[in-house]
Amino acid sequence: MSTLTAPRSNFSHLFSAPVIVAALGYFVDIYDLLLFGIVRLPSLASLGLSEADISLVGASILNWQMTGLLLGGILWGVLGDKKGRLSVLFGSIITYSLANIACGFVQDPTTYKLLRFVAGVGLAGELGAGITLVSEILPKHLRAIGTSLVAGIGLLGAVVAYFTVEFFDWRYAYFIGGGLGISLLLLRIGVFESGIFKDVKEQKHIQKGNFFSLFTNKDRLIRYLKCIGIGLPTWFVIGILATFSNEFGKALGIAEPIKPGLSIMWCYIGLSVGDLSSGFLSHWLESRKKAVFYLMLFTFVFSIIYFYAGINTAANLYTVIGLLGFGIGYWAMFVTIGAEQFGTNLRATAATTVPNMVRGTVVGMTTLFAIFKDSFSVINSGALVGVICFIIGLYCIQTIPETHGRDLDFLEE
């Protein structure tokens, strides 16, 4: 007599161990990613640096971390397609957790740079591996909601990082971040590898994780570049509007000094809510492209309000930054699109490198912002950078192939 296995409910799929671990992993990832930006001033001051040196050394350490993210994105992406999504998920957690614990013991700027570089390498692998794993194990009708849960929960790590630094010494903040990561490894029990990847792994003749193959086929290269282009407005908001909100606050004539750390926190609160919403929006519209397009337009409108609506109080500026954060809450959807655009043998490589390439464009945005300020006002300089980002972003989301409901069991030839 045969017995039928009852089909799993949507709830059991969405709150399965891989989804929970990916969400908590991204939570710790975001906590650690933003931590240096939050503790930059007190940590460097406690190392005995002057105000001028703090500015120069702080920028240098941030560049080292960003370089680690770029290189780590390629490293973990390739490993994700060659060795498996889980190996990257946990290898990255170990790397950045140990680096963050070590940051709590630093006594000189040189060691600090090296440790932030190592942390950057580790932090690069978390999101892409998590989104790839979740995309491949969930039924296709739940993919958008599942990946938005991962990012929505994960992005709250920014809020926890901000308040951790408010209540604890900067060294303890690093210890807490590292400890959270190590604790996360204990949740590995019960997490299983993607079945789609395991099937491909057995096929030895298939080339897996060849990063350079993204550039050797015109169609594949265009898809890859468009995935990156879609993400540009997200880091325009974080890297320019929130990070330099103190400069924009002065230019707008706001009497109260604007705190960039507080701006970033409100931005990430909005981002978390937006990410949770974007998955349901995509599910309801039955379209990744429409969901991202509408949220990008929302962000564009509030960027105009940010610059030209005559904001005159700190509270109003923080409110608009929170709404801008909500608008760029298509971050998870953008990474999901990156995962869905490519075959199983290149999926982790694409999904892991794309968000880190977008993070890397912040260097270009800040450079353009500085160049424009030689000829234009602070407000107009920021707006010009935004125009470039939105033109590219809107074009890319309009012209990239739709992936809602796509079967992910396919290969890149």
Q: How far apart are CA 344 and CA 60, in angstroms?
A: 37
Q: What tokens does 40 get?
A: 């930059």
Total Cβ atoms within 10 A of residue 97: 23
What is the identity of the amino acid at 384? L
If you average pLDDT over each of 62-71, 205-214, 267-276, 312-321, which comes out highest? 312-321
* Whether pLDDT at 1 is above 50: no
* Whether pLDDT at 202 is above 80: no
Reported confidence tier of residue 10, pLDDT bands at 50, 70, 90: confident
Q: How far apart are CA 239 and CA 20, in angstroms?
A: 28
Side-chain half-sphere exposure of 25, counting CA atoms within 13 A: 34
Q: Among 12-26, 201-215, 240-254, which stretch is predicted with the lowest mean pLDDT?
A: 201-215
Torsion angle (degrees, nearest 10) of CA 43, 269, 94, 194:
-170
CB 396 within 8 A of CB 338: no
Q: How far apart are CA 264 and CA 62, in angstroms?
A: 16
| DSSP state for residue 400 in the 8-state scheme | S
Q: Taking Cα atoms as reference points, which of 311, 302, 15, 305 lies closest to residue 149?
A: 15
Query: What structural domains does the chain harbor?
Result: 13-192+210-399 (1.20.1250.20)
Q: Which residue has the tokens 């300020």?
A: 373
Q: What is the pLDDT of residues 158-200, one digit of tens each?
A: 889 988 988 899 999 999 999 998 888 777 655 655 555 555 5
Q: Give percent above pLDDT 90 in the chain.
A: 41
The pLDDT, as a whole number, for residue 56 is 83
The pLDDT, as a whole number, for residue 82 is 82
Q: What is the pLDDT of residues 362-376, one digit of tens each?
A: 888 888 998 999 999
The pLDDT, as a whole number, for residue 199 is 56
CB within 8 Å of 213: residues ≥ 6 apart: 207, 220, 346, 412
Q: What is the pLDDT of residues 97-151, one digit of tens each?
A: 999 999 999 999 999 999 999 999 999 888 777 888 888 888 888 888 888 888 8
The pLDDT, as a whole number, for residue 205 is 56
Average pLDDT over residues 231-241: 94
The pLDDT, as a whole number, for residue 2 is 46
The pLDDT, as a whole number, for residue 208 is 60
Q: Which residue has the tokens 């005159």?
A: 312
* Whether pLDDT at 5 is above 60: no
CB 245 within 8 A of CB 324: no
Q: What tokens does 287 get?
A: 């379209």
- Mean pLDDT in the chain? 86
Reported confidence tier of residue 235, pLDDT bands at 50, 70, 90: very high
Average pLDDT over residues 381-390: 97
If you average pLDDT over each of 250-264, 334-348, 378-392, which comes out highest? 378-392
How does DSSP assign 36-82, residue by residue? HHHHHHHHHHHTT--HHHHHHHHHHHHHHHHHHHHHHHHHHHHHHHH
184 or 318: whose pLDDT is higher?
318
Q: What tokens does 345 get?
A: 């043998």
3-state secondary structure of 355: helix
CB 242 within 8 A of CB 264: yes
Total Cβ atoms within 10 A of residue 318: 21
Helix then strand then coil, % of the chain, to nearest 5: 75, 0, 25
What is the identity of the amino acid at 220? R
CB 119 within 8 A of CB 196: no
Reported confidence tier of residue 305, pLDDT bands at 50, 70, 90: very high
The pLDDT, as a whole number, for residue 204 is 59
169 or 405: whose pLDDT is higher?
169
Q: What tokens does 94 get?
A: 């170990």
